[in-house]
Amino acid sequence: NAGVTQTPKFQVLKTGQSMTLQCAQDMNHEYMSWYRQDPGMGLRLIHYSVGAGITDQGEVPNGYNVSRSTTEDFPLRLLSAAPSQTSVYFCASSALAGDTDTQYFGPGTRLTVL
């Protein structure tokens, strides 16, 4: 049971480039989400999904796109990277039945935009 996995661990982009951060979970969790973590700001929710084909915006969605074609995968796309998107990104998942309120986090992707 790998839990929540994220790739890559580190990434450096130039302003205007696009990229996709990958997230996968093997716990059959319906709920998945993306957060960004910035110093002094805690965790801010970018987008979330309650199941395949269903996504919604969080607190800071601008500049990011998501899709959920399978239960396991929830990629985050940066369409045109900006220096303000330099951050550490975490993917999380949780069940919608049973242990409904515990979030399981991936190890994070550290992104730098020059």
Partner 1 sequence: AQSVTQLGSHVSVSEGALVLLRCNYSSSVPPYLFWYVQYPNQGLQLLLKYTTGATLVKGINGFEAEFKKSETSFHLTKPSAHMSDAAEYFCAVSASGGSYIPTFGRGTSLIVHP
Residues in contact with partner 1 by CB under 8 A are 4, 31, 33, 35, 40-43, 45, 48, 50, 90, 92, 94, 96, 100-103, 105-108
Nearer to partner 1, 44 or 77 (CB): 44
> Closer to partner 1 at the Cβ: 49 or 85?
49
Enter the DSSP assignment of 83: G
Measured distance CA(73)–CA(110) in Å, rounded: 19
Report the residue number, 17 or 75, with the smaller CB distance to partner 1: 75
CA 17, 21, 22: angle at the middle one, nearest 5?
150
**Closest approach of Cβ 43 to partner 1, in Å?**
4
User: In the complex, what is the shortest distance from the CB of residue 56 to partner 1, in angstroms, rounded to a whole number?
Assistant: 9
Tell me the HSE value of 30 on the side-chain side, using a 13 A CA sphere: 10
Spacing of C-alpha 103 from chain mean position: 13
